């Protein structure tokens, strides 16, 4: 266990953690406004990665550039899914709403499997292997861009929530649903927009990781679980907490990888998850909904 190894782990962990943060903030937003845990979050990311793949392979579009397409595309996707599947069931029992998004996840993941089979695909633009050295650690450019892009997106989202009318309406609805209705906010529209934004952010995260990840129907599952852990850690509905939580989880995962062989590093993350759920369900930073 050398300092170099730890530094490398820290760097890798933080870089990926930025992406986890973006994925989680979308999930957190959806929970804050719609009060549902979106099990299909990872599946949407996976679809966006496929979209990125096809745009790159068939259209020669650079993955980062394709965000201009996938972002809005999956925003609309989210709007439609929310209106068609989720909104009609908004008064259903809580556990049924959970099952709804689970059903959606199963459907989307396996739709991808049916359409495109389980083969791993990759998109490797010219800069895929670019890297530079920072101190004793190797920094891979795509990962750095992904992290940077994720942080910028998250900050943009934060700004949107703070300054725009739509953002304020979203926050109002998250904080005080009945009050928001009384203030004349079009609740149905805002709920759809929130879901759309959540999907758009996780789609952008997907585009950002495509240059250094693989594309397959099950790729969303890993990010799904990470997103749950991050959101619980950061506090359900706590946007900033999700970002910070992302970095913490990314760090925990990669430090775990230095300690434990193989895929046992996941145990570190799960253990953290269980501990937070049991002892601080409102999240490390509070502000979450708790149990």
Partner 1 sequence: MAAEVLGGAALALLLVVPLLLPPYFLEILISVMLFGYLGAAWNILGGYAGQFSFGHAAYFGIGAYTSTLLFLRLGVSPWLGMLVGGVLATTFGLAAGYLSFRYGLRGPYFSLVTLAFAEMLRVVAVNTKAVGSSLGLVIPSREAAPWHFVFGSKLPYYYVILAMAIAALWVTRRVERSKLGYSLQAIRENEEAAEAAGVDALGMKLRAMAISSFMTALGGTFYAQYFAYIDPAITFGPSVSIQGLLQAIVGGAGTVLGPVLGAFVLTPVSELSRAAMRGRAGVDVMVYGLILILVISFLPHGLMGWARRRRRAGA
At its nearest, how many Å lie between partner 1 and the CB of residue 33?
15
- The reply to whether 93 sits near partner 1 by the rule CB under 8 A is yes
180: tokens are 């928001």
Q: Give the integer Cα–Cα distance in Å for 249 and 226.
A: 8
Q: Give the integer Cα–Cα distance in Å for 20 and 41.
A: 12
Identify the residue among 118, 126, 133, 184 touching partner 1 (CB under 8 A): 118
Q: Give the integer Cα–Cα distance in Å for 100 and 88.
A: 11
- The reply to whether 20 sits near partner 1 by the rule CB under 8 A is no
* DSSP summary character for residue 83: I
Residue-wise over 179-204: b if at least 16 C-beta within 10 A, else e?
ebeeeebebeebbbbbbbbbbbbbbb
At its nearest, how many Å lie between partner 1 and the CB of residue 93?
7
- The reply to whether 217 sits near partner 1 by the rule CB under 8 A is yes
- The reply to whether 114 sits near partner 1 by the rule CB under 8 A is yes
- The reply to whether 37 sits near partner 1 by the rule CB under 8 A is yes
Nearer to partner 1, 68 or 259 (CB): 259
Identify the residue among 5, 68, 76, 106 touching partner 1 (CB under 8 A): 106
182: tokens are 């009384």
Nearer to partner 1, 81 or 145 (CB): 81
Q: Give 157: exposed, middle or buried? Use CB within 10 Å, 0-12, 13-18, 19+.
A: buried
Identify the residue among 76, 134, 159, 271 touching partner 1 (CB under 8 A): 271
CA 198 vs. chain centroid, Å, equals 8
- The reply to whether 110 sits near partner 1 by the rule CB under 8 A is yes
- The reply to whether 107 sits near partner 1 by the rule CB under 8 A is yes
Q: List interacting residues with partner 1 (CB under 8 A).
A: 37, 85, 88-89, 92-100, 102-114, 117-118, 217, 225, 228, 232, 261-264, 266-267, 270-271, 273-274, 277-279, 281, 291
């Amino acid at each position: 266990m050398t300092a170099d190894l730890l530094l490398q782990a820290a760097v890798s962990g933080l870089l990926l953690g930025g992406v986890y943060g973006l994925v989680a903030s979308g999930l957190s937003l959806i929970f804050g406004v719609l009060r549902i845990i979106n099990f299909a979050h990872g599946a949407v990311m996976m679809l966006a990665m496929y979209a990125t793949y096809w745009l790159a392979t068939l259209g020669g579009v650079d993955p980062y550039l394709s965000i201009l397409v996938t972002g809005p595309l999956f925003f609309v996707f989210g709007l439609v899914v929310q209106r068609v599947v989720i909104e009609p069931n908004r008064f259903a029992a809580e556990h049924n709403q959970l099952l709804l998004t689970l059903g959606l996840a199963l459907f989307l993941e396996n739709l991808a499997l049916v359409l495109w089979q389980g083969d791993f695909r990759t998109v490797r633009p010219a800069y895929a292997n670019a890297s530079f050295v920072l101190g004793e650690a190797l920094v891979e450019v795509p990962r750095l861009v992904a992290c940077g892009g994720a942080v910028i997106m998250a900050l943009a989202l934060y700004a949107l929530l703070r300054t725009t009318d739509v953002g304020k309406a979203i926050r109002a609805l998250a904080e005080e649903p009945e009050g928001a209705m009384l203030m004349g906010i079009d609740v149905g529209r805002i709920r759809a927009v929130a879901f759309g934004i959540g999907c758009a952010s996780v789609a952008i995260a997907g585009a950002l990781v495509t240059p250094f990840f693989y594309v397959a129907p099950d790729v969303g599952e890993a990010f799904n679980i990470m997103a749950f852990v991050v959101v619980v850690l950061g506090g359900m509905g706590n946007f900033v907490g999700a970002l910070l939580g992302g970095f913490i989880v990314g760090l925990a995962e990669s430090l775990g990888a230095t300690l434990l062989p193989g895929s046992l590093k996941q145990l570190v993350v799960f253990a953290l998850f269980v501990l937070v759920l049991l002892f601080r369900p409102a999240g490390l930073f509070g502000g979450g909904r708790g149990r």
